[in-house]
Structure 1
Amino acid sequence: MLKNYKLTALFFLLSLPMMVFSQQRPDAKRIKVSGKIIEKGTTLPLEYATVVFQDVKNPEKLSGGVTDLNGDFNFEIQSGTYNVRFEFISFKTVELKNKTYNTNTDFGTVYLEADIAQLQAVEVIAERSTVEIKLDKRVYNVGKDMMVKGGTVSDVLDNVPSVTVDPEGNVALRGNENVRILIDGKPSGLAGINIADALKLLPADSVEKVEVVTNPSARYDAEGSGGIINIILRKGKAQGLNGSFVVSAGDPESYGVSSSLNYRSDKFNLFSNTGYNYRTSLGNSFNNSTYFDNGVIQNYIDEKRNNERLNKGYNTNFGIELFINKSTSWTNSLTIQNSRGENPDNVFFYNFDELRNPTYTRNRFNDQRSKDLTFEYATNFTKNFKKEDHKLTIDMSFSQNRENDNSIINDQVLNDPSSLFVERTLNPQTQQRNLFQADYVLPIGKESRFEAGYRGSFQKNLTDFQIDLLDNGNWVRNDLYSNLLEYNENVNAFYVQFGSKINKFSYFLGLRFEDSNIDVNSISVNDYNTKKYNNFFPTATVNYEFSETSSLSLSYSKRINRPRGRFLNPFSTYSSRINIFRGNPDLNPAYTNAFDLGYLKRWNKVTFNTSVYANLTDDSFQFIRRESGSIVDGVPVIEATPINLATEFRSGFEFNVNYSPYKWWRLNTNFNLYRNETKGDYRYINSLNEEIVQNFDNVASSWFARVSSKITLPYKIDWQTNATYSAPENNAQGKRLSMTSVNLAFSKDVLKDKGTIALNVSDLFNSRKRRSETNLENITSYSEFQWRQRQINLSFTYRFNKQKNERENQRRDDNGGDDFMG
C-alpha cells in the first residue's frame, strides 16, 4: 500500500512541468543547472525524470524540474546548499548530498539503473494522459483507450484529435482529406492500392501510438497538403519475454484475435504482431433525385442500396533487431497481410413520373468478391557515434501487393424477366513499391543541430478494370467502361535542415528538393500522360519559450499533393448505371503553402494548445458531378470526377484541451473552426449537347468538435465516452449536412490486473451518416450514406510479464520525429 501511494505521488510529481515550492530570498542569485538523464546499460533517454533540489537548511523547501524527451533538463534555481536527487519510476535514485551551488552548473550525463526489486513488486502504475500535446505534433497513445479494443486502425484514427474518418473510411486532418498517412514513419506496402481499405483490416491492438504533424519539416515527404499522420506499430523494448493477447466478438457478427509478443536480450530483440479478423459490416444508403427540363419537373428516381460487407483475413509482422555493438543496431522485419472480402450490393431504382406516380422499379444486384495479398520486407541500420545525438540511419523496404476484385451483376426491371441482363466486372491490381532512405544528424555544440538525407521512392501500379456483358452464354467485353491503367511513380528527394536555440528563442530551417517522374497510361484508349517536374520545398519553424510551461510557435512549409489510384483511373467502379465515378488521368499535382501559429500552455491539471492556420493551394482538385452525355433507359448518366479547380484558400482556428479535474476523471476536447474558399470555372457538354459553364466560386465555413470523457467508477470500472459533431458545410454544387456520433466503452481489470475486459459500442445512436444535397443544372438530389451501422464489441486482453514493460510506456520513442524545438 505504501509503495503504491509513493508511486502515485511520484507520478503526480512527474506530471508537473516545473515545481518550485521555495520562497525567494532577496539576497540569493539565480543560477542555471543542466544535464542529461539516461538509462544505464541501454543509453536510452529518460523523459519526465525528475531533478529535485532540497534545501539543506529548510528541507521543506523544494525546487526542480523534469527532463524532456531527449532526457535533458535545464532550469534555474536559487544559489545555495542542497541535497540533489535524480529520480524516475522503478529506477534507483541517484543522490548528491550537502553540495553548495553558487554558479551555473552542468551535471553532465547522469545514469539511472533499473530497480529490479521494485519492478517485480509494482502491479499497477498510474497511466499517462491518452493524448500528449506538443507544439510540433500531437501523440495519441492507443494502449489505454478502451474505444478501440477489438477494432481496427480506422477506429483508432477516428478517436485522434483533429482527425476525422468519414463513413467510407476516408481520413481528413482539420477537415482536409489531402493528408499523408505513414506507417512507422514511411509509406507502407500495407496500404496497397487503397489506404482506407488497409486501415480497416489492421487490428487496433497492433498500434502503439499515432503522431499527428500538421506542418511537417523538410525531413518528411512533401506529399500531403493537409499534413502527416504517422501510425507507429508496437515493438517491445523490455528485457525478457513479454506480450499480450486479445480476443473479441461483436454484433453484427465479428470475431478477432491478435497477439503482440516480444523477447529481448542484450544481443537481440525479437518482436511480432499477429492478428485475425472476421468482421461483418451492415451499411445502407439512398439517393433521391428530381430531374428537370427548363425548370419543369420531368420525373423522379429514388435509389436505395443495402450492403452486407464481410472482411476476413490475417496480418502478421515479425522481425529481429540485432545489437551489433553498443552504438550500432540492425533491424529486419517481414509483414504479410492476406484478406478476403464479400460485398453484396443490392440496389433498387424506384422510378416515378412528373406527378410522382410509380412507373417501374429496377433492381441491380452486385455480388462483389475481393482478395488482397501484401508482402513487405523492411530493414533499418542505425549507427550512433561517440558524440551524443550524432547518428546515421539507413532504411530500405520492398513491398508487393496483389488485389483482385470481381463481381457478378444482375440487373432487371421487376416483374419483367425479359429485361434481365447479366454483367461481370474483373479488376486485378498489382503494386510494387521500393523505398530507400538515409538520414544523418550532426549536433553542433550544445544548442544546434544539422540534418541531411535522401529518399528514393519507386512504385509501379497496374489496374485492369474490365466489364463483360453476358450475351447468349458468352461474355462480351464492354469497351465503354473497361480500361488498363499503368501508373509509374519515381521520386528522388534530398533535404537539409539546421536548427539552433538561443536562450528562449529557437528555430529550425529546412529545404527539400524532389524530382518527380510520373507516367499515367490508359493503355486501352491509347492515352499516355508523362509528367516530369522538380520542386524545392522550404520549411521553417521558430519557437519562443515564455517559461517552462508556455511556448509560442510559428511554422511554414510548402507541400505537394499528387493524384493517385482512383483519382486517375477513368474506370474503377460500376455499382450503379446512372451514378458513376470516373477518375481523371490528366490531373496535375496541387501545391500548398501552409502557415501555422501555435501556442502551448500547461497548468497543473490542464494542457491547452491552440493554433491559427492558413493553407493556400494552387491547382487543387475536387470532385464535381456532371452529366456524362450518356442516356440509360431515358435517364441521363451522372458521373462524379476530380478536376484541377484553380485555387483554394483554407484557414481555421483550432484548440485542444486536456483537463484532469480529479484523479478519477479526465477530459479531452478538440474544436476546429475552418473556412474554405474556392475559385474556378468548369465547362462540360450535357445530354442535350449544350455547353454548360459552371462557376465554382464558393465560400464555406464549418466546424468540428469532439469531447472525450474518461471516468473511473467504483470497483475500478473505467467508463469512456466520445461525442463527435461535424457541422454542415456548403460547396459549389450543394451542401454537406451535419453528422453526429457517440461512442461508449466500459472496461475492468481482472486477474490481478493482468487481464482487461472491455465493452464498447460504436455509433451508439446509429447516427453516423453522410448526408448531402446536390444541385445541378437539370438535377437536384438528396442522399444519405451509412458505411457501417452501430456495432457492439466485447474483448478480453491478457498481458504477461508486462510490469517491466510499463516503465517503458513512460518514455516516448518518437521514431526520428522533429522534436528539436521541444
Structure 2
Amino acid sequence: MRLLGNLRFYLILCSLLTAQAFSQSKSIVISGTVTEKGSGQPLEYATFVLQDAGNPENVTGAITDLKGKFKIRTTAGTYISRIEYLSYKTLEFPARTFDASINLGNLEMEPDVAQLEAVEVVAERTSVEVRLDKKIYNVGKDLTNSGATISDALDNIPSVTVDVEGGIALRGNDNVRILINGRPSALAGFGSTDALRQLPADAIEKVEVITSPSARYDAEGTAGILNIVLKKDKTRGFNGVINTVAGTPDRFSFTPNLNFRTDKFNLFTTFGYSYSTPPGNAFFDNTYQQGTFDRITEERDISRTNSGFNGNVGFEYFLTENSSITASVFGRLNDGEDLTVNNTVRFINSALDSRTIRSETEVEDEASYQFSLNYINNFNDEGQELAVDVQYSYDEEIKPITITEQNTFPNTETVGAENILETEEQNEFLIQVDYVLPIGDAQFEAGYRGNFEENQTNFNLEELNLATGQFEANSGLSNQFVFNQNVNAIYTQYGDKFGNFSFLAGLRLENTQLTGEVLGADTETLEELLGEDVALEFDKNYLNLFPTLNLTYELRENENITLGYNRRINRPRGWFINPFPSRSSRTNVFQGNPDLDPAFADAFDVGYLKRWKNLTLTSSVYYQKETNSFERIQEETGEVTSDGIVIIRSLPINLSTNERVGAELGILYNPTKWWRINTSFNFFEFNTEGTFRGTDFGATNTSWFSRLGSKISLPGKIDWQTNAFYRGPTENAQTRTKGIFTLNLAFSKDILKDNGTIALNVSDLLNSRKRIRSTETPFFSSDSEFQWRERQINFSFVYRINQKKKRDGGNRERDDDGGGEYTP
C-alpha cells in the first residue's frame, strides 16, 4: 500500500511538473485598451511593455492603434508590465502570472502636468505619421495657417502644390481627389476648390496624403487622394476655440468651434463668417499670324469682394459603449462680386490701331447644404466593426454677368455688350457600408459605396444690337446642359503581418455611368463650333476592376521600406464635358468636349522611412502610366470677331498616353528643443504622346518643387515660423510656365495664461506668387502673367475655452475617414 501511495505521489508530481512546463511554453495573447483618465480618449501609439520577471533582460511590447487598443502574442509566464506614453504618468503593474489569453480591459493614464511644456516642443517631431497606404500630417501646429484658408494650409503639405488660381496638385499631377472626412463633400462645390479658399484652416485636424490608396477608397483621382479631416473634440464637458482674424487687403473672419460632451452624447458645432477683398491682376501679349491685327496686349485689374457664412452642427449619440449614431448638417452661403477691367491695345504692323476697355462684373450667389448620418458598431475589443454612412449634398450657384466693351481710341464707340445668367445645380447622394473582421492577427474588410450625382447648368445670353441699342436673346448659345454620373462599387481587402512583413491587398469593382443631354439649344450652331462628329447626347457605361497592394517591411524598429501598387480612374467632370464656350473673353474661350472618355492609370510607389532621435527621413520613388489622358490644347475656331480678331479656343481632349516618373524626399529635423526644420523635395518627369486632328501634341517635361519650413521658439513664449516654397518651370506641347517662389512668415505669442494666442501672418511676403507663361502655336503666340491674389497680411486672435494648447496624443478620435489602412 505504501508503495502504491508513493507511486501515486510521483505520478501527480510528474503531471504537475509537465503541466507547468507546458504552461511555460504555451502561446497566449494579452490585449487591452489604453485611454486618458477623465476624458476616456483612446491614446494612440502608447507603449505596452512586458518584462520577464525571471529574466529582466527579456523585454517585449506592443504599440496601441488608432483606438488605443494593443495586442501582443507571447508565451505563458510571470511578467512585470507597464504602459508608457509621452506627457503621461507611466502606469506600472507588479509581477503577475499569465497562463492563458486575457483582455486587461480599459487601462487609464493620467497626464503628467510637469512635462507639458517640454511636450509641446517634442510633439512637433511627430507631425507626420506613416501608414501602409498614406502619410498623415497634423497641420494644427503650423503658425502660417493662423488666419489662413484650407487652400493655404494644403500648400504647406509636402507632395502638395496649390497654383495661383487655387488648383491643387499632388506630386505635380492635378488629377487629385479631394475628400472631407473620407467622403465627397459640399465643401468642394461643383468639383472645384473655390470653397476651400474661403473656409478657415483652423478647422483642420490633419491632412492625409494618400498616394497609394487601398481598395476601400473610391478609385477616382489618378494622382491619389487628399483627405482633409476636420476637428471634432472628444473631451468631456464644454470646450472650444474661437478664432478672429483681421487683415489687409481687407480681410475679416470670425470662427467659433464649440463642443459639449457627456457620457451619452457629443454635440459639436463650427460656425464662421468671412469677408475679403483679394485683388488680382493679369497681363497678356498676343501675336497673331493671321487676322486684322498682328499684335494685341491685354492688361487686367481684378477686384473681388467675397462674404460668406458657413456652419456645421453635429450630434453624436452613444447607443452603447461600442456603438453610436451621428447626425450632422453643414451649410455654406457665399456672396461674391468680381469686377475685371481689361484694357486692350491693338497693333497693325507694329503701329497703334485702337484701344478698348472691357468691363466684366460677375456676381456669385452660392449656397451649399449637406446632411450626413453615420452609424458605427464596434462589436468587440478585437476590432470587429460595422460602419454605415448616408449623405445628401445640394449645391446651387447663380452667376449674373454683365459685360460691356467700348473704344477709348481713336473713338469712344461701343463695341459690344452682353448680359449672361448662368445657374448651376448639383444634387449628390452617397451611401457607404464598411465591415471590418479581425481574423487572428489578420484583418478582413469588405464594403459597398454608391455615389449618385446630377449636375444641371443653365446658360442664357443676351447680346446688344448696336443698330437698335436693344439687348436680344442669342438662341444659338442659350442652353441647358444636364450631366449625370452614377458610380456603384464593391470592394474587399485583406491585411496581415508575418514577423517584420505586413501587407494589405484589395480589389475594387466599379461601375460608372455617364450621361449628358443638351436641351433648348440650336444644334446647327453647336455643330459649327464642335463639328458634326461630336455627339451632344451620350450615355456611357464602364465596368472596371481596380486592384491595390501595399507592402511594408520593418528593417528595424524605426526603419522600414514600403511598396505600393494601385489602379485609378480619372472621370471627366461636368465643366470638361459641357460643349458651350465660356464668355470671359471675346477672343480666348474655353469649351468642354462631350466626347471625353475616362482616363486610367497604373501607379507604383517604393518608399523608405528612417527615424532617429531628432530626425525623421521619408523618401519614395514613383512611376505612373496613364492611358487616354486629358490634355488642354489651343486651336483656331475659324472665326473672327466683328472687329477682325481671330478667336482661339482651349479644348480638353483624350491623348494616348502620359508616363510620369519621380522621386521625393522629406526631412523633419529638431536640432534643438527650440528649433524645428521641415523640408521636402520632389522631382518628376512626364512624357506625353498623342495627336489630335493631325497635330502632334507630344511633349516631355522635367520639373521639381521644394519647400523649407523653420519654426523657432523665442523667449517670452513667442514662436517664429518661416515657410519658403519654389516650384520649378514646367512645359507641355504648347506652353512653358516659369518657376514660382513664395515666402510666408508668421509670429505668435501665448497670452492669458496660455488660453489665448495672438499671431501675425504674412502670406507671399515678396508678392512673387505669379504665373508667367509663354505659348507657341502655328497660328499665334502669347506671353502672359497672372496673379490671383496679392500679398496678404493677417492678424489673428485665438481663445481656447476649457482647454490648453493641443498636444500630441490629445484629441484622438475614431479614424472614420474611409481608413483603408491595416495596423498589425
Compute the TM-score of the two structures, normalised by the length of structure 1. Answer: 0.89
Q: Which amino acid aligns with 2:391?
A: S
Counterpart position of 1:11: none
Segment drifting more, 214-223 vs 119-128: 119-128
Counterpart position of 1:668: 678
Q: CA deviation at 1:120?
A: 12
Q: For the residues of structure 2 that align with 1:133 and 1:113, how far apart are their CA atoms?
A: 24
Segment drifting more, 162-171 vs 537-546: 537-546
Counterpart mapping for 1:714-733 below 5 A:
714-733=715-734
Out of 153, 156, 180, the position equivalent to 1:156 is 153
Q: For the residues of structure 1 that align with 2:220 and 2:806, how far apart are their CA atoms?
A: 35
Counterpart position of 1:282: 279
Out of 483, 486, 497, the position equivalent to 2:482 is 486
Counterpart mapping for 1:740-759 below 5 A:
740-759=741-760
Q: CA deviation at 1:646?
A: 1.0
State whether structure 2 residue 141 is matched by structure 1 residue 144: yes
Q: Is the 8 A contact 2:461 2:478 kept in 1?
A: yes
State whether structure 2 residue 129 is matched by structure 1 residue 133: yes
State whether structure 2 residue 436 is matched by structure 1 residue 455: no
Out of 514, 536, 545, the position equivalent to 2:554 is 545
Counterpart position of 1:612: 621
Q: CA deviation at 1:166?
A: 0.5
Q: For the residues of structure 2 that align with 1:227 and 1:323, how far apart are their CA atoms?
A: 34
Unaligned runs of 5+ in 1: 1-28, 684-692
Q: For the residues of structure 1 that align with 2:105 and 2:609, how far apart are their CA atoms?
A: 29
Q: For the residues of structure 2 that align with 1:671 and 1:597, how far apart are their CA atoms?
A: 16
Counterpart position of 2:659: 649
Q: Is the 8 A contact 2:187 2:195 kept in 1?
A: yes
Out of 314, 317, 328, the position equivalent to 2:323 is 328
Q: Is the 8 A contact 2:281 2:301 kept in 1?
A: yes
- Structure 1 328/336 Cα, relative in aligned 2: closer, same or farther at 3 Å? same
Q: Which amino acid aligns with 2:260?
A: Y
Q: CA deviation at 1:62?
A: 9.2
Counterpart position of 1:680: 690
Out of 302, 307, 315, the position equivalent to 2:310 is 315
- Structure 1 470/437 Cα, relative in aligned 2: closer, same or farther at 3 Å? same
Secondary structure, aligned partner of 2:658: strand
Q: For the residues of structure 1 that align with 2:309 and 2:227, how far apart are their CA atoms?
A: 22
Counterpart position of 2:402: 408
Secondary structure, aligned partner of 1:468: strand
Q: CA deviation at 1:315?
A: 0.3
Counterpart mapping for 1:248-327 below 5 A:
248-293=245-290, 299-327=294-322
Segment drifting more, 719-728 vs 33-42: 33-42
Secondary structure, aligned partner of 2:187: helix
Q: Which amino acid aligns with 1:756?
A: T
Q: CA deviation at 1:564?
A: 0.6
Q: Which entry has the higher C-alpha Rg, 1 or 2? A: 2
Q: Is the 8 A contact 1:289 1:781 kept in 2?
A: yes
- Per-residue Cα deviation, 1:380-438 (whole angstroms, up to 9, x for no partner): 00011125210000000111111001111111111433334221111111110110110
Q: Is the 8 A contact 1:38 1:109 kept in 2?
A: no
- Per-residue Cα deviation, 1:676-722 (whole angstroms, up to 9, x for no partner): 00000111xxxxxxxxx321121111111111111111212111111
Secondary structure, aligned partner of 1:329: strand
Out of 405, 422, 427, the position equivalent to 2:422 is 427
Q: CA deviation at 1:293?
A: 5.0
Counterpart mapping for 1:114-129 below 5 A:
114-115=109-110, 125-126=119-120, 128-129=123-124
Q: CA deviation at 1:200?
A: 1.2
- Structure 1 516/56 Cα, relative in aligned 2: closer, same or farther at 3 Å? closer
Out of 516, 521, 546, the position equivalent to 2:517 is 521
- Structure 1 808/109 Cα, relative in aligned 2: closer, same or farther at 3 Å? same
- Structure 1 735/809 Cα, relative in aligned 2: closer, same or farther at 3 Å? same
Q: For the residues of structure 1 that align with 2:279 and 2:678, how far apart are their CA atoms?
A: 30
Counterpart position of 1:3: none
Q: For the residues of structure 1 that align with 2:663 and 2:211, how far apart are their CA atoms?
A: 13
- Structure 1 215/590 Cα, relative in aligned 2: closer, same or farther at 3 Å? same
Counterpart mapping for 1:202-221 below 5 A:
202-221=199-218
- Structure 1 318/572 Cα, relative in aligned 2: closer, same or farther at 3 Å? farther
- Per-residue Cα deviation, 1:753-775 (whole angstroms, up to 9, x for no partner): 10000111111101111111100
State whether structure 2 residue 649 is matched by structure 1 residue 639: yes
Q: Is the 8 A contact 2:67 2:813 kept in 1?
A: no
Counterpart mapping for 1:686-701 below 5 A:
693-701=694-702
Secondary structure, aligned partner of 2:152: helix
RMSD across aligned C-alpha pairs, in angstroms?
2.9
Counterpart position of 2:528: none
Q: For the residues of structure 2 that align with 1:205 and 1:695, how far apart are their CA atoms?
A: 47
Q: CA deviation at 1:635?
A: 1.6
Counterpart position of 1:507: 503
Out of 23, 38, 54, the position equivalent to 2:34 is 38
State whether structure 2 residue 655 is matched by structure 1 residue 658: no
Q: For the residues of structure 2 that align with 1:525 and 1:595, how far apart are their CA atoms?
A: 47
State whether structure 2 residue 468 is matched by structure 1 residue 467: no
- Per-residue Cα deviation, 1:92-125 (whole angstroms, up to 9, x for no partner): 6432235699x9x977446332538x67996885
State whether structure 2 residue 595 is matched by structure 1 residue 601: no
Q: For the residues of structure 1 that align with 2:196 and 2:688, how far apart are their CA atoms?
A: 30
- Per-residue Cα deviation, 1:638-669 (whole angstroms, up to 9, x for no partner): 11111101111011111111111111111111
Q: CA deviation at 1:210?
A: 1.1
Out of 357, 363, 370, the position equivalent to 1:369 is 363
Q: CA deviation at 1:83?
A: 4.9
State whether structure 2 residue 342 is matched by structure 1 residue 337: no
Q: % of aligned pairs identical?
A: 44
Q: For the residues of structure 2 that align with 1:715 and 1:107, how far apart are their CA atoms?
A: 50
Q: For the residues of structure 1 that align with 2:797 and 2:82, how far apart are their CA atoms?
A: 41
Q: Is the 8 A contact 1:238 1:805 kept in 2?
A: no
Q: CA deviation at 1:545?
A: 1.2
Q: For the residues of structure 1 that align with 2:541 and 2:809, how far apart are their CA atoms?
A: 46
- Structure 1 546/810 Cα, relative in aligned 2: closer, same or farther at 3 Å? farther
Counterpart position of 2:20: none
Q: For the residues of structure 1 that align with 2:242 and 2:377, how far apart are their CA atoms?
A: 33
Counterpart mapping for 1:96-115 below 5 A:
96-98=93-95, 108-109=103-104, 111-115=106-110
Q: CA deviation at 1:671?
A: 0.9
Q: For the residues of structure 1 that align with 2:59 and 2:545, how far apart are their CA atoms?
A: 51
Q: For the residues of structure 2 that align with 1:265 and 1:593, how far apart are their CA atoms?
A: 47
Out of 219, 223, 246, the position equivalent to 1:222 is 219
- Per-residue Cα deviation, 1:586-619 (whole angstroms, up to 9, x for no partner): 2110011111111111111111111111111111
Secondary structure, aligned partner of 2:819: coil
Secondary structure, aligned partner of 1:567: helix
Q: For the residues of structure 2 that align with 1:144 and 1:286, how far apart are their CA atoms?
A: 38
Q: Is the 8 A contact 1:279 1:310 kept in 2?
A: yes
Secondary structure, aligned partner of 1:196: coil
Counterpart position of 2:9: none
- Per-residue Cα deviation, 1:564-601 (whole angstroms, up to 9, x for no partner): 13211223631211111111122110011111111111
Counterpart position of 1:6: none
- Structure 1 479/672 Cα, relative in aligned 2: closer, same or farther at 3 Å? farther
Counterpart position of 2:383: 389
Q: For the residues of structure 1 that align with 2:808 and 2:682, how far apart are their CA atoms?
A: 34
Compute the TM-score of the two structures, normalised by the length of structure 2. Answer: 0.89
Q: For the residues of structure 1 that align with 2:593 and 2:413, how far apart are their CA atoms?
A: 36
Secondary structure, aligned partner of 1:325: coil
Secondary structure, aligned partner of 1:281: coil
Q: Is the 8 A contact 2:41 2:811 kept in 1?
A: no
Q: For the residues of structure 2 that align with 1:393 and 1:351, how far apart are their CA atoms?
A: 63
Q: CA deviation at 1:819?
A: 2.6
Q: Is the 8 A contact 2:426 2:456 kept in 1?
A: yes
Counterpart position of 1:571: 580
Q: Which amino acid aligns with 1:188?
A: S
Report how many residues are paired: 777
State whether structure 2 residue 492 is matched by structure 1 residue 496: yes
